[in-house]
Amino acid sequence: MPRRRIGFWYRFTAVLCKPPLVVLLKRDWRGMENIPADGGFITVVNHNSHVDPFAYAHYQYNTGRVPRFLAKSGLFKKGFVGAAMRGTGQIPVYRESTDALSAFRAAIDAVERGECVAFYPEGTLTRDPNGWPMTGKTGAARVALQTKCPVIPVAQWGANELLPPYAKKPNLLPRKTHHVLAGPSVDLTRFYDREMSPELLKEATEAIMAAITRLLEEIRGEKAPEKPYDPREVRIAQRRRTAAQERARQKEGQGK
């Protein structure tokens, strides 16, 4: 299937965004040969800065295969930003509503039309203290197994040094380098034609996240933790600690 044309809105947005990105970030971009020249596919990318969606989009724009991001539905509603989001073909995500599955269906439709859909499988900025990818959500795996399309893992590093996660001010000097490495497609064939169970999606997601993490290890020249940071496990552990502390306080109060 032929690729979709880039279109006016994407080119116009690129004209606005590329100059400041070129000024703010040096580039170490590798692996563009792994981005398919034609046909539908998805990319799965780690997320460690509010700047990196723009920096990564710059990388992929330069491959000629523009990404369609999944983004919060509120961004599509008003003004120039809404017009740009709609015009560039981004995919709205309606959280906690009857339309919550529409993004999943739209992503499948986009892949089947021969487009690229970009997933941040962590679902949010990483909370790993050292910036490694966290455990992933299953949306990318679900689309990949439904469509059997290529899944290109992409690791990036450097935008987080310009603007660390949850920081309010950028660290402009010295000028940072945006490192991007795209790898070959993740082999998910062992998951094909099996029941789409939560366990299957979890296994496929773990394979996807492992591929991204290996690429980031190559960029950073160091090993990631053996067990990925899991926000759910951390929340459960924190609740247990809080409950234990409360029980201890109550016990201490009863002893007085």
Domains of the chain, earliest start first: 8-227 (3.40.1130.10)
Cα-Cα end-to-end distance for the chain: 76
Q: List strand residue ranges (DSSP E) for the chain, in order.
A: 25-30, 41-45, 67-72, 91-93, 116-119, 151-157, 176-182
DSSP string of 101-126, one letter each residue: THHHHHHHHHHHTT-EEEE-TTSSS-
How confident is the prediction along the chain (256 residues), in pLDDT tens digits per residue?
Answer: 455 567 888 888 888 999 999 999 999 999 999 999 999 999 999 999 999 999 999 999 999 999 999 887 888 887 887 888 888 888 888 766 555 577 889 899 999 999 999 999 999 999 999 999 999 999 999 999 999 999 999 999 999 999 999 899 999 999 999 999 999 999 999 999 999 999 999 999 999 999 999 999 999 999 999 999 999 998 998 898 888 888 878 877 776 6
What are the φ and ψ backbone dihedral angles of 155, each rounded to 5 degrees? -110, 145
- Cα dist. 118→12, 89, 240 in Å? 20, 12, 36
Q: Report the side by side order of strands in the sheet with 91-93.
A: 25-30, 176-182, 151-157, 41-45, 116-119, 67-72, 91-93
51: left (phi over 0), alpha (psi -120 to 50) or beta: alpha
Tell which residue, 92, 130, 116, has the closest CA to residue 44.
116
Tell which residue, 127, 144, 96, 100, has the closest CA to residue 230.
127
Is pTM beyond 0.85? Reply is: yes
